[in-house]
């Protein structure tokens, strides 16, 4: 059976994020059905409004599932029936969540919840904590996590990519 993009559902994690919304727009423009995760379904209207600003009004071609990187709940439902997963979700703690564990634990655990992923990382996974490079970065480069100037976000991206 030949499937077209309109028959294929792609899960994009972290639907409130900038990169996730860019991916959602691109997938919708290519005709895919998209499912996205949000920590709270109360964010659906906000995400739809932002996508509308980006030129998309997907209606029922876009669905939402509540799932949190720190919990197994919701992930089975989120991935069910999806041909592909684009995993870019990463915690951005605020308020009382300010320890490194609030950044790093969910980022690493979240990468291990799904078996086959396309992982979007960040430049922070390779660029932080060492001096300027005199060559292009490659897959052997990682941020130096022993450097005290490396921020929790950069640590979370480095460790979660390493775990994947």
Token digits of residue 37: 């995760």
pLDDT confidence of residue 96? 66
Residue of 52, 134, 155, 157 with catalytic role: 157
CATH assignment of the domain containing 80: 3.40.50.720
Extract the tokens encoding 108. Answer: 């690493």
> Whole domain around residue 58: which residue ranges?
5-163
Please answer whether residues 20 and 11 qualify as being in contact, where contact means their C-beta atoms are separated by less than 8 angstroms.
no
134 counts as catalytic: no
User: Which pTM does this prediction carry?
Assistant: 0.66
Average pLDDT of the segment spanning 120-136:
86
Angle at 37 between CA 47 and CA 35, to 5 degrees: 85
| 122 Cβ contact list (under 8 Å, min separation 6) | 90, 153, 154, 157
Q: Which candidate, 13, 57, 6, places its Cα nearest to that of 35?
A: 13
**What domain count does the chain have?**
1
Per-residue pLDDT reduced to its tens digit, 22-51: 999 999 999 999 999 999 999 999 999 999
Residues 6 or more apart whose CB falls under 8 angstroms from that of 139 comprise none
- Average pLDDT of the chain, as a whole number: 86
Query: How confident is the model over 140-152, as a mean pLDDT?
Result: 91
Distance CA 6, CA 25 (A): 14
């Amino acid at each position: 059976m030949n499937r077209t993009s309109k028959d294929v559902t792609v899960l994009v994690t972290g639907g409130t994020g900038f990169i996730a919304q860019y991916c959602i727009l691109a997938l919708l423009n290519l005709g895919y059905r998209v499912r996205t995760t949000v920590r709270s379904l109360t964010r659906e209207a906000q995400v739809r409004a932002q996508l509308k600003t980006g030129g998309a009004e997907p209606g029922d071609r876009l669905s939402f599932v509540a799932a949190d990187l720190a919990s197994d709940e919701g992930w089975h439902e989120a991935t069910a029936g999806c041909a592909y997963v684009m995993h870019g979700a990463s915690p951005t703690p605020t308020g009382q969540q300010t320890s490194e564990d609030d950044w790093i634990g969910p980022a690493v655990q979240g990468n291990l919840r799904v078996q086959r992923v396309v992982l979007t990382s960040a430049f922070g996974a390779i660029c932080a904590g060492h001096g300027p490079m005199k060559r292009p970065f490659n897959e052997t480069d990682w941020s130096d996590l022993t450097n005290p100037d490396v921020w929790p976000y950069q640590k979370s991206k480095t460790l979660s990519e390493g775990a994947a």
